[in-house]
Amino acid sequence: MILTNETHRPSAPPRTAPAESSPAVPPLAPGAVPGLGHAPALLRDPLGFLGSLSRHGSVVRIRLGPRTVCVVTDAGLVHTLLVALAHDCPRGAVQDTLKTAFGDGLLMSEGRAHRDRRRIIQPSFGPDRMAEYLAVMHQVTEERARRWRPGQILDVAKEMNHLALEIVTRALFDARLSEDATVAFHRALPDMVKGQIVQSLYPHRAFARLPLPVNRRFDAAVRVLNEVVDQAVNGTAPDGGCPVTGSGARRGTTLPALLRAAVDPATGRPLTEDDVRSEAITMFGAGTETVSTTLTWLIDELVRHPGVEARVLAELDEHLPAGTVPTPEALARLGYTRAVTQEVVRLHAPNAFLMRTARVPVHLGPYLIPAGTELLYSLTAIHRDPALYPEPTRFHPGRWYGADRAQGPAGGTGAARQAFLPFGAGKHKCIGEAFAWAELTVAAAAILRRWRPTAVPGARAREVVWTTVQAQGLRVRLTPRGGRAPHAPGPRRTPAGGHDDSPAQCLPIIRPRQSDSGPHAPHAPYGPRGPRGSRPAPVGPTGSSGSAGPVGSAVLPAQSSLANRRSASTAEGPHASALRTASRTADPVRTARPADYLGPLSTIVPVTDLGPVTTVRPVITLRPVGTVPRPAPPVPLEALAAPAAPPAALRAPDTLRPQAEPRTAGELRAATARHSDWALAHGLLAPEDLARYHTYALPELIGHSYPRARGAELDLLVDILGWFTILDDRFDGPPGRDPAEARGIVEPLLAVLAGRPVPPGTSQPHLLDAWRELWQRQTAPMPPGWRRRAAAEWRSCLRTFLAETAHRAARTQPDLAETVRLRRHASCLYPFMDILEHVHGGEAPAGLHADPALHRLRANTADAATLINDLYSADREERQNVAAFNTVLTLQRIRGCTRSRAARAVGARIDRLKAESDALRRSLLLRHPSGRWYLDGTRELVEGVYAWTSTSLRYTGEDAPH
């Protein structure tokens, strides 16, 4: 039986030799959903799904809505499809869409047209051109890498995209694209790819003409891409602003020159300009993203495997001395480097899936495939087949080099060769293969020679599958090779005075790959301090979290009983009048609406301010506090000495307590030791807990955030942070699920704040004792106004434990607005802002406190610090099942979007907060110049949280102690 009822055409006699036994129908993959078929599974996890199909057969049917597609899972049969059946199985609908848009380029054409065109183009990729290309690749990469700065955080995928585009433009076209064109190209490409896929799934071509958003974006992208390609082909810059400046030296040998000099064998006429443009777009489409993605994975793997990186560098030193232009001979000697790139290409083959369509009935293994059947194969799935590659997801260059090689697929047999098909096979085999191998090696060599990339915690490469398997989210910090680890860069200003939002300033926000968060992820008895939300779970025998009970089974109504809010007009406390003014002068972004359990200072961020999801990343500038080496010793105090001289902004004449000498690292180290003694003396920690506790390096957060704190203030800050973290961790256990027990802990603490008799029966007497002492140390030197303010803000903070416990007990989750409010206060940022005054030795000016803009600035400060924490702690919290109280996770749940989109939205929100805070500080400074130190303190606080959070072992998932 054949698939006549699932295909559109009647069967004709098969072209290929029949199989020995009677032909069979490929099995249907299990799990089809009525109406949708396997589309949900494919969309949810394309590579996992395609990889799983080999269990069911060497060819497996899947249903995508009304269509049936045959997936070829066997490497040998894929090879047959591409080579023996190449004539009968041309490329299908996906390529047809491109053909309509870009004409008959190599990537889109078939049959004789394809063969003729390939013959014309082949010389462009011949061995005699390679030396020239190597020089260009080397020069372009050098130019780009020279522009990077020590300490810069590099958005690797973005940089590699630009690099690959520039290499193709300069090598094949001897042209340069304007910066605008480069950006436009990378913006347009995803729309083009999406449109290509969606349009190929339309039941009829006419659908592509409907004014659907996807079609409109596709058309716009095609226009843009054609314009960009025109620049490369013609050497003109239509915008006149940044002209294409091809050197012109190689004009006679470029790809356009080759095409213009050629005659179409079919017509006997020269190729048209449309033909030239079609081939140009083909090269841009096929030769940029594939390479940039592979380069990104290559850097990711080297960052993960320092031993491999060291070996590559040693080989480069031996065969490709620094400063020399690579030659084909030198590259041929880089055996180990080649093995490394080969392993990257195996594990991360950029082509997630490719397609063919059977023109006539064909035999494929034991199956007869009817005419019209679409055939899909995934090179990535083949390269990860455990039957072909033991431990397939392990990065192991030894498969291709040295002793292990014989056991690997490079062992030399035909079957082994068929198992490695990153560049395809047959007549459509990648024409740029040699170019690509060379580019990967030359670009990686130029980058690694100059820079040592180190992973930014939480910013590992993540697979995102479209037609290619993209590597998204990798951020690395750059250290000059041979130099010491850089200081984080200080704020840079553009000539126009605005902030530089170059990649150096981008916060990493992308979820690490699954492998980063596996069973070895750390679980710690003591949370980091610092902003909450980073709570570790108690260590269970399996290493899994034993913490917070199930949350997320039910959704809380938008207005929970916990979210009863008082109006601004009823707000109390020292900032009440400011709050009321703020409420009256309602700005479009937010309105002041204090919630009763949050105290008088809350400001609500409308949910809409966290959307729409954008691609903006947070722009955070870092104070150069020094490097924070990891992992051990956990407290790199040397790095946290205060800046040699206070920043100019802090040398204001009104400083009450001028700095004598800057704080030394020794002071922070001594404070850390005193804190340990203090925690032991209060029974907050047992001696055996200390080692693990120290790995959280909590004093670093204080060191980053309070560069001028010393002596008793430094001790106070470190002790408060330690105490709060230990308290926070208690709520990961049973008290966090039992409202009565939670009240039993929190009420006594509140009583201390209010000066009331403490109710008996707390389950945490050590915490209570320590709190009494801490509160006394906080308030003793401070005036009554400060005490009232600090007490109110501590109340708001402590009550969030009750709110969160109530949610856990009721198995409800907060909506986004409540999450934002909860998180703002839960992080005890407000009390920590109050301690700025403690450190300074006096209250901030009364006028400043009465200013509504300060109210907003403080809310922004709390929000920004908390959101930074949420970005980094999302994965950890998800593992710990405390997802309800993380803004990224809440957003993801409520919007139904991906983690990275939620993270981007949060990142964009941080950007906006930062920009608004800068503006608020400027305006406040004009009105209250004597409060400059306080205003700067809020900025330092956020920067400190960023510096600590982004380097803390708590969030890395792989470096953290076990």
Q: Is the peptide bond before 522 cis (omega within 30 degrees of 0)?
A: no
Q: Which is nearer to ligand HEM, 234 or 351 (CB)?
A: 351
Q: Which is nearer to ligand HEM, 105 or 522 (CB)?
A: 105
Q: Which is nearer to ligand HEM, 383 or 858 (CB)?
A: 383
> In 19-110, which residue ranges form alpha helices assigned H by DSSP?
39-44, 46-52, 75-82, 93-102
Phi, then psi, of 183 in degrees rounded to 5 = -65, -45
Residue labelled with tokens 């040398």: 651
Question: What residue type is assigned to position 858 of the chain?
Answer: R
Q: Are 63 and 37 in contact (CB under 8 A)?
A: yes
Q: Which is nearer to ligand HEM, 328 or 624 (CB)?
A: 328
Cβ at position 351, least distance to ligand HEM in Å: 5
Summarize as ranges the residues that interact with ligand HEM (CB under 6 A). 91, 106-107, 118, 168, 282-283, 286-287, 290-291, 294, 350-351, 354, 422-424, 428, 430-432, 435-436
Q: Which is nearer to ligand HEM, 26 or 422 (CB)?
A: 422
Cβ at position 277, least distance to ligand HEM in Å: 14
| 469: three-class secondary structure by DSSP | strand
Q: Which is nearer to ligand HEM, 113 or 806 (CB)?
A: 113
Spatial CB neighbours of 326, under 8 Å, sequence gap ≥ 6: 134, 135, 137, 138, 320, 438, 441, 442, 445
Cβ at position 738, least distance to ligand HEM in Å: 56
Q: What is the DSSP string of 392-432?
A: TTS--GGGGSGGGGGGSGGGS-HHHHHT--TT--GGGS-TT
Q: Compute the distance between CA of residue 536 and CA of residue 558 in angstroms, rounded to an integer.
A: 28
DSSP 8-state secondary structure symbol assigned to residue 530: S
Q: Which is nearer to ligand HEM, 98 or 908 (CB)?
A: 98
Q: Compute the distance between CA of residue 735 and CA of residue 229 in angstroms, rounded to an integer.
A: 63
Cβ at position 173, least distance to ligand HEM in Å: 11
How many CA atoms, within 13 angstroms, populate the side-chain half-sphere of residue 80? 19
Pairing of strands 354-357, 475-480: unpaired
Q: Which is nearer to ligand HEM, 423 or 693 (CB)?
A: 423
Six-digit token string for 673:
């030791």
Q: Which is nearer to ligand HEM, 468 or 545 (CB)?
A: 468
Q: Which is nearer to ligand HEM, 94 or 456 (CB)?
A: 94
Six-digit token string for 613:
């999801």
Q: Which is nearer to ligand HEM, 286 or 504 (CB)?
A: 286
Q: What is the 3-state secondary structure (H, E, C) of 648-673?
A: HHHCCCCCCCCCCCCCCHHHHHHHHH
Cβ at position 940, least distance to ligand HEM in Å: 45
Cβ at position 107, least distance to ligand HEM in Å: 5
Cβ at position 163, least distance to ligand HEM in Å: 12
Q: How far is CA 655 from CA 124, 301, 480, 650, 918, in A?
A: 69, 50, 38, 8, 21
Cβ at position 393, least distance to ligand HEM in Å: 19
Cβ at position 421, least distance to ligand HEM in Å: 7
Q: Which is nearer to ligand HEM, 283 or 582 (CB)?
A: 283
Burial class (CB in 10 A: 0-12, 13-18, 19+), 405: middle
How far does CA 936 lie from the centroid of its chain? 30
Cβ at position 59, least distance to ligand HEM in Å: 18
Cβ at position 453, least distance to ligand HEM in Å: 20
Q: How far is CA 643 from CA 648, 659, 661, in A?
A: 11, 11, 10
Q: Are 591 and 862 in contact (CB under 8 A)?
A: no
Residue closest to ligand HEM when measured from CB atoms: 432
Q: Compute the distance between CA of residue 531 and CA of residue 746 in angstroms, rounded to an integer.
A: 18
Q: Compute the distance between CA of residue 825 and CA of residue 796 in angstroms, rounded to an integer.
A: 6
Cβ at position 913, least distance to ligand HEM in Å: 40
Cβ at position 583, least distance to ligand HEM in Å: 57
Q: Which is nearer to ligand HEM, 106 or 598 (CB)?
A: 106
Tell me which residue of 497, 498, 510 sits closest to 461, measured CA to CA: 510
